[in-house]
């Protein structure tokens, strides 16, 4: 699917505030409310927009500790196995399979380092996990966009 300029501006408006009314967005981009809704529906159907979510401040929610964990899996582990295994942890914010030595890269939020340690132990104990390698985030420098989940 190709997005034209209007679609981009609608997506941009929604990215800033996904609860704005269609009429409001329409006024900004020069369309009527129903026209905006039709385009949003089309973007949803095409999968360009995969949903609506909240932007949260992890610190304010008590998630003080952020970490990236590389996971090295046993052979014959499918991406779907990894996904299923990780979905059960609410601390897992994002996960992808990657090139290089590790099989997957996982982003984790925990309330503190001890909490992270417990989560890491449990993940390391998953049957498909051979070993892990973690780095802790010291300070977030920059954060933009919100990539979609392949639900």
Q: Which of 8, 15, 17, 21 binds DNA (CB under 7 A)?
A: 21
Q: Is 47 exposed, middle or buried (0-12, 13-18, 19+ CB in 10 A)?
A: exposed
**Per CB under 7 A, does 34 bind DNA?**
yes
Residues 21, 6: Cα–Cα separation, whole Å = 16
Six token digits for residue 102: 């590790």
Choose which of 12, 15, 17, 32 interacts with DNA (CB under 7 A): 32
Handedness of CA 136, 141, 143, 144 (dihedral sign): negative
CA distance 61 to 46: 33
How far apart, in whole angstroms, are the C-alpha atoms of residue 63 and residue 109? Answer: 6
Piece of the chain touching DNA by CB under 7 A; list 29-37, 73-81, 89-97, 134-142:
29-37
Site for its own copies, rule CB under 8 A: 1-3, 8, 11-12, 14-19, 46-58, 60-62, 66, 68, 79, 82-83, 86-87, 90, 92-100, 102, 104-105, 109, 135-151
Shorter beta-carbon distance to its own copies: residue 32 or 96: 96
Q: What residues make contact with DNA under the rule CB under 7 A?
A: 6, 21-24, 26, 30-35, 37-39
């Amino acid at each position: 699917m190709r997005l034209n300029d209007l679609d981009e501006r609608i997506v941009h408006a929604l990215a800033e505030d996904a609860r704005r009314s269609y009429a409001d967005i329409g006024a900004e981009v020069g369309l009527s409310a129903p026209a905006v809704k039709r385009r949003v529906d089309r973007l949803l159907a095409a999968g360009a927009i995969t949903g609506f979510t909240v932007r949260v401040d992890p610190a304010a929610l008590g998630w003080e500790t952020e970490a990236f964990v590389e996971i090295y899996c046993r052979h014959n582990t499918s991406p779907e196995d990894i996904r299923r295994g990780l979905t059960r942890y609410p601390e897992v914010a994002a996960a992808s399979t990657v090139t290089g030595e590790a099989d997957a890269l996982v982003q984790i939020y925990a309330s503190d380092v001890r909490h992270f340690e417990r989560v890491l132990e449990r993940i390391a104990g998953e049957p498909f996990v051979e070993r892990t390698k973690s780095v802790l985030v010291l300070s977030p420098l920059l954060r933009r966009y919100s990539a979609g989940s392949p639900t």
